[in-house]
Amino acid sequence: MAYRSKVALVYLLGFALDLLNMFAASIAYPDIAAQLHASVTQLAWITNAYMLGLTMIIPMSVWLAAKVGERRLILGSLLVFGIASGLIAQAGSIESLIGWRLLQGLGGGLLLPVGQALAYREFPATQRAHFTGVVLLVALMVPALSPAAGGLIVEALSWRWIFYLNMPVALFAFGLGLLWLKADQTASERPTLDARGLLLAVSALSLLLIAVSLASESATRHLSMGVLLLSAITFWIYLRDGWNKPGAVLDLQLIRNPSLRLAMLIYLFVPGIFTGTNMIAVLYLHDLGFGAAQTGALMLSWAAASGVAIMLGKRSFNRIGPKPLLIAGLLLQCLGIVVLMQIDQPVSGPLILAYALMGLGGSLCSVTAQTLAFVGITPEKMGHSSALWNINRQLGFCLGAALLSSLLGALGVNGFKYCFLAAALLTLLPMAAVLRFDSTKLLALLRSPHLQEKST
């Protein structure tokens, strides 16, 4: 097996663990609530604490990788993740469970950007679209299958076994990393920690996630606006402090890269908005009389269409470039949401069509955006770009759900159609940036004879 494939497999196992903990864990919430006497707000913090841990540690990933080495950091993260999973499974109270979920997020938050940077660095630009397709197939299959698998585990054993079973997977990935990953090279100079920048970045991100959590509850929605303002002020101070600073915790100058900037914008307004749309759709379809099994089955049409889009995207990116794929993806997801908005009775056919269109459009944008984000990044900047990408990815999922749930909370039960309309319009928001994007240099890079030789 080629070394790049070994690196990719270790990263994909870590990525799958992260996804499992995002989707399978939610199935256990009713049993956790009953056994640990948890409120709805406390249950929400099972996810929020994991997301907070992820987001807090990602800004440190570049410095830690330079300090201790990428191989050591990945292996250490897998150990932290596995140990935290065991501690969650043994939690005797909801408070301790939330605390261990935060620790688990700290482990997962290093697996994603460091493993992603290491893997993408091994693939030449001409093969990054193919590798992105593989990554997104994992991102498709795990969310599609893990809720059903998690339900079987909860019924046959208990909710604790969802977390116990993380441990052998983490141990397996650790063993492969120990055997396969090359030893870290000794750094020529000791990296310095931008402590002020790190404090500002972590504070801004943490405040933003807390604001998102507060916005989901009507009683705390006004408080969330104050926390959001405080987050924005902190983020502005961070930008002022770190924009031109040598050795900054994150290389903010990478945002000047038009490909990475467009890719991050797409991820905020397409996968992020779909997350919120699907959440609103579950509530809407419940009001129409759809059962949980019927609603869950709609994701099968989404998954099938997403698989088609991923294969199409990874085969077409190098040939036609990102613009046609992004334009088609934005229009298709928007059309799917519009179809969903027109449904006012429990009819399966139009719903299957709506979810298929959203899956086709959303995944076409996702595979194109993730390839676009890394295709022109130099190896020495891959760690910084991966950290920025993963922060943006996590925030996209949080913000899309928070925005649409807050809108529904403000409008009441009669506001579903307006929420879907807002989601459709937000999906099209990046269209102007896509149309302005000049892909001439990117296509020239992908068709360079030098790169073609390196990829063979």
Query: How large is the average pLDDT for residues 256-271?
Result: 92
pLDDT at 451: 46
Instruction: Tell whether 259 and 128 lie within a shared domain.
Output: no
**Does position 148 have pLDDT exceeding 70, yes or no?**
no
| CATH number of the domain where residue 325 is located | 1.20.1250.20
Q: Residues near 17 by Cβ (< 8 Å), separated by ≥ 6? A: 81, 108, 111, 166, 169, 170, 173
Domain count, the chain: 3
CA quadruple 160, 165, 168, 169: dihedral, nearest 10: -130
Query: How large is the average pLDDT for residues 116-137?
Result: 85
pLDDT at 26: 67
User: Is the CB of residue 65 less than 8 Å from the CB of residue 112?
Assistant: no
Amino acid at 415: G
Last residue of a domain, one of 233, 248, 263: 248
> What are the residue ranges of helices labelled H in 244-380?
258-269, 271-288, 292-320, 322-342, 348-374
pLDDT at 391: 86
Instruction: Tell whether 226 and 280 lie within a shared domain.
Output: no
Per-residue pLDDT tens for 333-392? 999 999 999 988 767 788 999 999 999 999 999 989 988 888 878 888 888 888 888 888
User: Is the CB of residue 361 less than 8 Å from the CB of residue 335?
Assistant: yes
Q: Is the dihedral of CA 93, 397, 86, 35 positive or negative?
A: positive
- The answer to whether position 186 is within a domain reads no
**Does position 265 have pLDDT exceeding 60, yes or no?**
yes
Per-residue pLDDT tens for 273-283? 998 888 788 77
Numbers of helices and strands, H then E, in the chain: 21, 0
**Does position 225 have pLDDT exceeding 80, yes or no?**
yes
pTM of the entire predicted model: 0.79
- Residue 126's alpha-carbon distances to 120, 129, 333, 439, in angstroms, are 11, 7, 27, 15
- The Cα–Cα gap between 391 and 113 comes to 9
| Predicted confidence band of residue 147 (pLDDT cuts 50, 70, 90) | low
Instruction: Tell whether 320 and 198 lie within a shared domain.
Output: no
- The answer to whether position 187 is within a domain reads no
Instruction: Tell whether 244 and 351 lie within a shared domain.
Output: no
Q: Residues near 416 by Cβ (< 8 Å), separated by ≥ 6? A: 280, 283, 284, 287, 408
Between 323 and 399, the higher pLDDT residue: 323
Query: How large is the average pLDDT for residues 285-307?
Result: 77
Rg (CA), the chain: 21
Highest average pLDDT, of 85-94, 143-152, 383-392, comes from 85-94
Question: What is the span of the domain harbouring residue 325?
Answer: 251-456
Share of the chain above pLDDT 70, in %: 92
Query: How large is the average pLDDT for residues 440-445?
Result: 78
- The answer to whether position 185 is within a domain reads no
Instruction: Tell whether 336 and 259 lie within a shared domain.
Output: yes
Looking at residue 253, the DSSP 8-state letter turns out to be G
- The Cα–Cα gap between 267 and 399 comes to 11
